[in-house]
Amino acid sequence: MLLIHCPYCEEDRSELEFRWAGEAHIARPENIAAISDEEFAEYFFLRNNEKGLTYERWRHIHGCGRFFNAARDTVSDRFLTTYKAGMPKQLLPETGASEKTVETYEATEGDAR
């Protein structure tokens, strides 16, 4: 179970209190009614699903109720930072994120060093 820092409550709380809410920093187009099919597909359907450093939204649904952003390493499940909704993307060095990581259970099978 993950331990997540809520940037509004300023506390580390158990994953049980949170709900994942998809990839972060995807702004709804201001002129959404006028965008092309391709632009709509890009906005609504396509997601990066990164291995390694990923930016995602969480909601402290059983706490303060706020949505916020998080940078997480999907390989190690380590949270690198969390920050409030509306703040610009917190740029982090990609290598810094994966340097200390290890493979997932499935990837390690048959692959002990």
* Site residues, another protein (CB under 8 A): 1-3, 14, 19, 21, 27-28, 32-33, 35, 37, 40, 44, 57, 59, 61, 65-67, 76-78, 85-86, 100-106, 108-113
Question: At its nearest, how many Å lie between another protein and the CB of residue 59?
Answer: 7
3-state class (DSSP) for residue 62: coil
Q: Which residues lie below 8 Å from residue 57, measured CB to CB, with a gap of 6+?
A: 20, 21, 22, 23, 24, 67, 68, 69, 70, 85
Q: How far is the CB of 92 from another protein (least distance, A)?
A: 18
Nearer to another protein, 31 or 48 (CB): 31
CA pair distance 96, 83, nearest whole angstrom: 18
